[in-house]
Amino acid sequence: MQLTSNQWMENDGDDAAGGQAVEVRSIEIDGRRVRVGIRAGNAAHGTPLLIFNGIGANLELMEPFTEALAGVETIVFDIPGIGGSDLPALPYRFFGLARLAKRVLTQLGYEQPVDVLGISWGGALAQQFAFQYPARCRKLILAATSAGAIMIPARLSVLSKLLSPRRYRDPDYLLRVGPSLYGGAFRRRPELLQDHARHIAPPRGRSYAYQLLAAWGWTSIFWLRLLRQPTLVMAGSDDPIVPLVNARIMAAVIRRSRLVVIDDGHLFLVTRPLESATAVKRFLAGDAALAVE
């Protein structure tokens, strides 16, 4: 294994929320680099949290949320071809990505079970990881996601924009389509997209197409009720990409689940980080008082 590391300059030392700086490492798996960001936690919060990002999203885009989770150790890695991770020669499926995630944890020294959170596209990968490696996943958090191919879809006008990574490569285009695509705070305050765009590293080459192919035809609907893990299902009330009804279906099917609805859009983890982090921390701590819709 080869490993290099550095800290993000803007997080040199402890952050304002009282947490630790994010350490970015590059590890090598099968001759290819995988870029990982780790924010150290404290003993009081126990189990580390592995986060699977959305389609085309580099690990920096999770920074507002991981910062708000002050005290919880978080691990986020760039999917192959995204951010600083190398692009593989061939496409992959969620099964292979779950196996990659397990190998990343092992190389980093995480031998015990972790908690797992996935947002949007990454929520499908989180479901796959929890099902494929139940002994490695203690609790599961599914944010702004669905059961895959069998879901209540978004409008065609929204889906057509998701087929291309243009929003990651063209800031002006993102400002035009972002409010209607992401909803919530971005619909009410479009200027927030300018700050969001600053942290984007555009997908390279075939990487976005590979992520689309990974999700093509995949569904968890037939085995969701077999998941062993206590599960928190989170959804935005104004999510054009994954309509709220999908979260209600998942929460009804998963046996040990709770549903929390955030008054925001698809990217509520980023636009409402403190509210989202509070719900997640209470769930991870086993707070029975967590509100359930």
List the beta strands (DSSP E) in the chain. 3-7, 22-29, 32-39, 49-52, 74-77, 114-119, 137-143, 231-236, 257-262
Q: What is the structure's pLDDT at 71? A: 93
SS3 45: helix
- Identify the domain containing residue 166 by its residue range: 3-284
Q: Is residue 135 part of a domain?
A: yes
Q: What is the structure's pLDDT at 289? A: 45
Q: Is residue 292 part of a domain?
A: no
Q: How far apart are CA 94 and CA 78, in angstroms?
A: 14
Name the pairing type of β-strands 22-29 and 257-262.
unpaired
Q: Is residue 134 part of a domain?
A: yes
Q: Is residue 293 part of a domain?
A: no
Residue pLDDT, tens place only, 13-53: 344 444 578 999 999 999 999 999 999 998 778 899 999 99
Q: Is residue 142 part of a domain?
A: yes
Q: What is the CATH number of the domain that holds 78?
A: 3.40.50.1820
For the entire predicted model, the pTM comes to 0.91
DSSP state of 88: P
Which of 5, 26, 85, 120 is labelled catalytic?
120
Q: Is residue 289 part of a domain?
A: no
Q: What is the structure's pLDDT at 264? A: 98
SS3 46: coil
CA-to-CA separations, 105 to 62, 141, 269, in angstroms, rounded: 18, 18, 23
Q: What is the dihedral of CA 80, 213, 64, 35, to 10 degrees?
A: 0
Question: Per the structure, how many domains does the chain have?
Answer: 1
Cα 261–Cα 253–Cα 97 angle in degrees, nearest 5:
85
Residue pLDDT, tens place only, 262-278: 999 999 999 999 999 99
Tokens of 285: 């701590």
Q: Residues 51, 75: contact at Cβ < 8 Å?
A: yes
Phi, psi of 144 (to 5 degrees): 50, 45
Q: Is residue 182 part of a domain?
A: yes
Q: Residues 142, 120: contact at Cβ < 8 Å?
A: no
Q: Is residue 98 part of a domain?
A: yes
- Those residues of the chain that have pLDDT short of 50 are 1-18, 288-293
Give the amino acid at 225: R
Is 120 catalytic? The answer is yes
